[in-house]
Structure 1
Amino acid sequence: MAIATMGVTVLDCPDPRRLAEFYAAVLDWEVTAGPFGDGEDWIELNGPHGRQLAFQRSEGHRPPQWPGTEHGQQFHLDLDVPRDEMDAAEKRVIALGARLLQDDDGGKRDWRVYADPAGHPFCLCAA
């Protein structure tokens, strides 16, 4: 028997609303203030099948460095994209504020690594 069930995944960041809006646009999920705070220090996204992603204000936030280890990534999100839509998806996430960290080496790998607007690494993975 499980000790617990998985709840929300929370990312620390300097501007929760901006980061929530970035991921809401990428995932097409709904932004809500959530049960904590005034909607400025804690923002949630609600997705299908009860999935949730939240963002909390962290003063002095230091973004991870990928692939460096001095300020290691700690975790990252893998986001699936149909293989034939990878280029279009890349253009859209960059327009939303993402930054390319590592390409797919001319299609030799099934993923590309980006930093979100707060510096957290995430991958667009060919599905």
Structure 2
Amino acid sequence: MPVAELGPVVLDCPDPRALARFYADVLGGTVEGEGDWVDLRLPGGRALAFQAAPGFVPPKWPAPDDSQQFHLDLDVKDLDAAEKAVLELGARPLDAEDRTGTFRVYADPAGHPFCLCAC
């Protein structure tokens, strides 16, 4: 019997509502809340949460001497179309050297790394 169930994944950021809106535009779902804590309720019952972090410093990627702490893998059917969409929403590529594989790495507007993965 498990001890716990996984709750929402929580991302520290400077502007919780803005980052929740970015991920809602990427993943769908409903943004709920204001202020220092905002939830994104995703289709299927999953959730992401965004917490205000004064003095937030985004992780560095790639940086062998600094941890990226975590990243999200987002499955997509068409890498090129998904890339175009996330760039228009404010993401920036982190792996500009390699565009031929089955995944691509980006930073969200607050600097958290995430991958688009061909499924």
Q: TM-score range by the shorter chain?
A: over 0.9
- Residue matched to 1:115: 107
With over 3 angstroms needed to count, the CA separation of the structure-2 counterparts of 1:74 and 1:43, relative to structure 1, is same
Q: How far off is 1:48 after superposition? A: 2.2
Find out whether 1:56 has 2:55 as its counterpart.
no
Residues 28 and 43 in structure 2, CA contact (< 8 A), matched pair in contact too: no
- Residue matched to 1:126: 118
Return the TM-score normalized by structure 2.
0.94
- Residue matched to 1:99: 92
Please tell me the root mean square deviation across aligned C-alpha atoms, in Å: 1.3
User: Greater shift after overlay, 58-67 or 97-106?
Assistant: 97-106
Gaps of 5+ in 2: none
The one-letter amino acid paired with 2:25 is: A
- Residue matched to 1:5: 5
The one-letter amino acid paired with 1:61 is: F
Q: Write out the 4+ residue segments of structure 1 that deviate beyond 4 Å after TM superposition.
A: none
Residues 13 and 51 in structure 2, CA contact (< 8 A), matched pair in contact too: yes
Find out whether 1:42 has 2:37 as its counterpart.
yes
Alignment equivalent of 2:83, drawn from 67, 90, 95? 90
Q: Percent identity?
A: 59
Q: After superposition, what is the alpha-carbon deviation per residue over 1:81-113, rounded to whole angstroms, capped at 9, x for unaligned?
A: 00xx21111111011110000148342x21000
Q: After superposition, what is the alpha-carbon deviation per residue over 1:5-59, rounded to whole angstroms, capped at 9, x for unaligned?
A: 00111000001011000000000111111xxxxx121111001222000000000
Aligned length: 119
The one-letter amino acid paired with 2:43 is: P
